[in-house]
Chains A and B, each alone.
Chain A
Amino acid sequence: MDEKRMFSKFVGILAAVIVLGVVFVVGSVIAEADLGYTIVSAVILVSIALVAIVVARERQKEIKSGFPHDDERSSALKMRAGYLAFFVSMYFCLALGLIIGAFVDDSTIDFPSIGETMFLLVAAMGIFYGVIWSALSRGKGTP
């Protein structure tokens, strides 16, 4: 697949994420869902969309100047960041579970539902991926 087609595909996915985010937030407001959860979700979705827009603009510049947006080093970086993000997320969830189990009285706290927890954990995994990728791409650890 050539660079321009890959870029168009990326923009299409980004547009779909933004539309889904808007539908989700509007739906939550109409259904009178928990306001705090709706705000947190909206902030996460807007952050993801903003990062994606910045990445899309950078890629467009690279394509115009004749550089590939992906090469062997960037592929290795993505794989390593994904691998590390998976383990960091796993240990994060284990630590969180242990801390809540040992020190927090379940009956006094209004915990989020399973759906909300899943969303927040996947969002946390995405944030870990972004932070690790950013650190690796600045040369902190050769892939």
Chain B
Amino acid sequence: MKTRIKELRARYNMTQDDLARKIGVRRETILFIENGKYVPSLKLAHDIAKTLKTTMDELFTFDNE
């Protein structure tokens, strides 16, 4: 799984801590999602996309796509 979270965070000048606080998760969770080591639930993916003002489709791509 690949994500554009890092890129979009940079666009909005947001740190991993800021994003984690906004969506109510631990900072490590954001770190692992960014590195493709943890696949978030539909709810969490939706919350991240909403916070970064994008869609889930834009945010996540999978290797078999």
Q: Do A and B come from one complex?
A: yes
For chain A, give the interface size range: 10 to 19
The 6 closest A-B pairs by CB, nearest first: A71-B25, A73-B29, A71-B26, A139-B37, A142-B37, A66-B21
CB contacts (< 8 Å) of B32 on chain A: these are 73, 139, 142
Interface CB pairs A-B, < 8 A, 13: A66-B21, A67-B27, A68-B26, A71-B25, A71-B26, A71-B29, A73-B26, A73-B28, A73-B40, A137-B28, A139-B32, A139-B37, A143-B38
Using an 8 Å CB-CB cutoff, how does the interface string of B1-45 with A read, 1 for contact, 0 for none? 000000000000000000011001111110010010111110010
Describe A's contact surface by its main secondary structure: loop
CB contacts (< 8 Å) of B20 on chain A: these are 67
Say if the beta carbon of A106 comes within 8 Å of chain B. no
Say if the beta carbon of A72 comes within 8 Å of chain B. yes
CB contacts (< 8 Å) of A142 on chain B: these are 32, 37-39
Determine if A72 and B40 form an interchain contact, defined as CB atoms under 8 angstroms apart.
Answer: yes
For chain B, give the interface size range: 10 to 19
How far does the Cβ of B61 sit from chain A's closest Cβ, in whole Å? 17
CB contacts (< 8 Å) of B40 on chain A: these are 72-73
Report how far A89 CA is from B19 CA in the complex, Å. Answer: 39
Given contacts A67-B26, A72-B40, 16 further A-B contacts (CB under 8 A): A67-B20, A67-B21, A67-B27, A68-B25, A69-B26, A72-B41, A73-B26, A73-B28, A73-B29, A74-B26, A74-B29, A137-B28, A139-B35, A139-B37, A142-B39, A143-B38
